[in-house]
A and B are shown apart, each in its own frame.
Chain A
Amino acid sequence: MKKLKIILFVAIFSLIGCCIGIGLGWTSKKPVRHNFVIKARQYSYDPAVIVVNRGDTLNFKLVSMDVVHGFYLEGYDIDCEIHPNQKTFKLRHPSQGHFWKDTTDFTVIAKGYGKFKYRCSHTCGTMHPFMQGEMIVEPNVPYHASWGGFVGFMIGMISMFYLMIKKKL
């Protein structure tokens, strides 16, 4: 019973922290269109980080600067194969199997909140498994919630010990 009380006590602080974090980090902007040209090279993308807002329309053109690379966008069912010196690249939706089609670009609507990585899905060299970029969809709710939640958790733990010393918990 005491254990449950303690867990609840700390959880409440964490939850309050989460809410404050989300509140402080919340942004709401009118959706706009972005055109990105992503250049892939061993073992990074340029731009390495793109920041967009939820609801924005994102148009991607993909270029390889050296060898064959991939572009797997987490959470968006997008996987591409980019060959060097070509204006087109291959695109597929992994959930629909291996049906590749040639294209010059693709468009998605930014959904969800937080960080979505784009990773190389085509073995491109020794460091291939670590080749990745980041698309941050604002507001980055998980990040702001974690900040607030962790600080709230710490305050909750410290308060818990205070109350334990004072024999109130």
Chain B
Amino acid sequence: MTKKTDNEEHEELVLEPEGFRINLFKKFPLIKKFAKLKGFQFFLILPSLFIFYIIIISGLIGTPLGNRNIAIVVLWILWWFLLIAILVPLLGRTWCAMCPLPWFGDLFQRMSFFKVRTGKTNYLRNKMFGLNLTWPKRLKNIWLPNINFLILCTFSAILVTRPFVSSFVVSMMLIVATVLAVIFRQRAFCSHVCPVSGFIGLYSKTAMLELRSNDKDVCKNCTDKGCLRGNENGWGCPWFEYMGKLDRNNNCGLCMECVKSCPNDNIALNFRPFATETTLKGYDEAWKGFIDVGTSHAYSLIYLGSSGILKDWVNPTQSNNWTGFFTYVIILWLFSLVVVPGIFFLFTSLSHKLANTGRVSRMEAFKAYSYILIPLGLLAWIAFSVPLLLVNGSYIVSVISDPLGWGWNLFGTRDFQWHPVIPEYIGFIQIALLLIGLGYAIYKGFFIGQRLYNSPTAAFRGLIPVAVFSTVIALAFIMLYIG
């Protein structure tokens, strides 16, 4: 084993090319004008609220056949694809800005559609209604969203095929979000409970959009701190973020309140390269990456594979195979929470040993390198979602005319035949997506190593096991998709 030499101590770092930043507020002043509108979020939420009601109603009263009911088709084919393949990688948490679930809670806390109320509530300079309790310190992480996401994944076969169940779950999320808004401060549900928010939050680190302060020094000298505390122009950040310290997309819901409340006009909406942020703060975030890789593997096997046994296992309410279901639950949870992180730990331990600098602990290396699962996991999820849209997207055309499956023919497209789009080329699209994910994982892995060890040679040595792990993960997907 090579110890770090004096040469390595003084070697020159390989510089990561500095990513561009284009301030969209400056380039397109109309965007800023829109963001500054008091009703900005309301205008974003309004259309999704309308669709949301259609989903709930059609889930409750429409046909139980998922592919004939607009609730399932819009939610799990169209929305899911748009979210994972377009919104998150390009626009980060934009969905959170237009999500209708916390809207009623926001409305209760603010008791206002547009008007900003001034007053004093805890640290805020806005008058807020409700109990305004602090969220428990122990739960100030994304462990709860992680578990909630796994629970949803566990029942995914029932969730994504039964309109009633989808409608019920969405309604329950709305109720929980509203109740939590009555009890706790700001958006406690979005920050610490919502399973989708945890998912979006982690992957929005890769997003090509960020909301940041133009100049951190201006924030430092700002006594108003309107972004965090609110003022007469805008509400205090519902995500508890202070723009002077904001350097991650994880908890920025892009609600644009800070754009309105900043007294120094110091907020920029930047367009930036893909996968710019490469730091994970805690093990909760690392485990989110493992869960997402684990579940996307499981989903690919179950929903894109040919095994009837697995489909019976995940669908116990119809197959009555409860033994199979519990076997599946145990395998899914063990695989996502223990096996994937366990294997990753072995690889990062080897990486740590090879780097051999003594600068950081094995666990620090494990946590830092777990970032590589984010670009890889995101692209794997997109690769999983592509066939859902291309193969089953034609259902959208028919359900638009017959949203409830009652035989209506509103636009004359009810009888549009199911027609998969370029199904024989989907595998090639998946290969390309996984290759991009692998490329980012390895590329970012090197610079993470360099940041950890402060030495390009140690980073290079440490990269080898990490690159092998990423390649094995990508090849496991390839095996499922085209093998």
Question: A residues engaging B (CB < 8 A)?
Answer: 41-46, 48-49, 72, 74-75, 94, 98, 112, 114-117, 119, 121, 123, 125-134, 140, 142-143, 146-147, 149-151, 153-154, 157-158, 161-162, 164-165
Indicate which residue in A140, A150, A165 contacts B435 across the interface (CB closer than 8 Å): A150
Contact across chains for B464 and A134 when beta carbons are under 8 A apart: no
Chain A contacts for B479, CB-based, 8 A: 143
14 A-B residue pairs with Cβ-Cβ distance under 8 Å, sorted by A, are A44-B311, A75-B424, A125-B65, A128-B67, A129-B392, A129-B395, A134-B306, A140-B483, A142-B428, A150-B435, A154-B471, A158-B460, A161-B446, A165-B457
Interface SS of A by simple majority? mixed
Cβ of B64 within 8 Å of any chain A Cβ, yes or no, is yes
Contact across chains for B478 and A74 when beta carbons are under 8 A apart: no
Contacts A140-B483, A161-B14 given: A154-B442 contact, CB under 8 Å? yes
Contacts A121-B418, A142-B428, A164-B14 given: A126-B482 contact, CB under 8 Å? no
Contact across chains for B306 and A157 when beta carbons are under 8 A apart: no
Cβ of B298 within 8 Å of any chain A Cβ, yes or no, is no
Contact across chains for B460 and A150 when beta carbons are under 8 A apart: no
A140 to B464 alpha-carbon distance, docked (Å): 29
Interface SS of B by simple majority? helix
Chain A contacts for B263, CB-based, 8 A: none
Chain B interface residue number, banded: 35 or more
Least Cβ–Cβ distance between B102 and chain A, in angstroms = 30
Contact across chains for B311 and A157 when beta carbons are under 8 A apart: no
Chain A contacts for B65, CB-based, 8 A: 123, 125-126, 128
Contact across chains for A153 and B435 when beta carbons are under 8 A apart: yes
Chain B contacts for A161, CB-based, 8 A: 14, 446, 456, 459-460, 463
Indicate which residue in A142, A147, A151 contacts B427 across the interface (CB closer than 8 Å): A142
Chain A contacts for B459, CB-based, 8 A: 161
B415, closest chain A residue (CB): A98
Nearest first, the 10 A-B pairs at minimum CB distance are A44-B308, A75-B424, A48-B306, A126-B161, A74-B423, A154-B471, A157-B442, A165-B456, A133-B306, A74-B424
Contact across chains for B478 and A126 when beta carbons are under 8 A apart: no
A157 to B311 alpha-carbon distance, docked (Å): 38
Chain B contacts for A127, CB-based, 8 A: 157, 161, 311, 315, 318
Contact across chains for B419 and A94 when beta carbons are under 8 A apart: yes
Contact across chains for A114 and B427 when beta carbons are under 8 A apart: yes
A41 to B162 alpha-carbon distance, docked (Å): 19
B279-322: contact bitstring with A at CB < 8 Å (1 yes, 0 no)?
A: 00000000000000000000000111111110100010010000
